[in-house]
Structure 1
């Protein structure tokens, strides 16, 4: 199942509404990087509100998505990180340096607009 990527002005909105498995996480990574290239988006809001937990592979893919997006010139804001997800990312040593975070999608879009 593909995760929709919406474009609003110069921002891509990605709201993960399913539990990610390895295949869907890799598909999201590929789809998002392609969309960044096609649109030259200046920012991405990655909403993880629906993710209750992540395993090491999904955590790595999230970190990779952030790093690759930044390499392609897009600022990233992650919204809605649940406590278990935050704990897992830190325990895995996944660095999200320079990534802005917000509690919800609306605040994430506002934060990104002020940063872009």
Structure 2
């Protein structure tokens, strides 16, 4: 299933509704990279709220999405990491180093729009 990418102003929002195959993750990376340029997006939000697991490939690919978007001039924020997912990522040594995270979509939008987020986080900490 293809992940829908919504455009809201200069922000692209990709909301993962289920665990994706490796192929679907690569397709999402490629589509987002293309759409950042096509729509002159300044920000990308990757919403993982619905996911109850992030394996090493998914983590690396999402980090790759953020780095690719940055090279194309867009800021990326990953939102909605569930507590269990965060615990598992820590236990497995998986990180979003250098990638900003936010509690939820609302906080992520506030963060990319320069508004007062309640605690935008940088994965490098």
How many residues align? The count is 114
SS class of match (2:51): coil
TM-score by length of 1: 0.87
Matched, 1:17 2:35: no
What is the CA RMSD across the aligned residues, in angstroms? 1.7
Kept after mapping to 1: 8 A contact 2:79/2:108: yes
Kept after mapping to 1: 8 A contact 2:45/2:108: yes
Higher relative contact order (CA 8 A, sep 6+): 1
**Deviations along 1:40-80, whole A, 9 cap, x unmatched?**
10001111101111222111111111111111110111110
TM-score by length of 2: 0.81
Aligned equivalent of 1:47? 47
**Deviation for aligned residue 1:87:** 4.2
Q: Distance in 2 between matches of 1:111 and 1:33?
A: 21
Aligned equivalent of 2:85? 85
Specify every segment of 5 or more residues in structure 2 that has no aligned partner in the other structure, as ranges: 116-125
Specify every segment of 5 or more residues in structure 1 that has no aligned partner in the other structure, as ranges: none
C-alpha distance 54-93 of structure 1, shift in aligned 2 (>3 A): closer
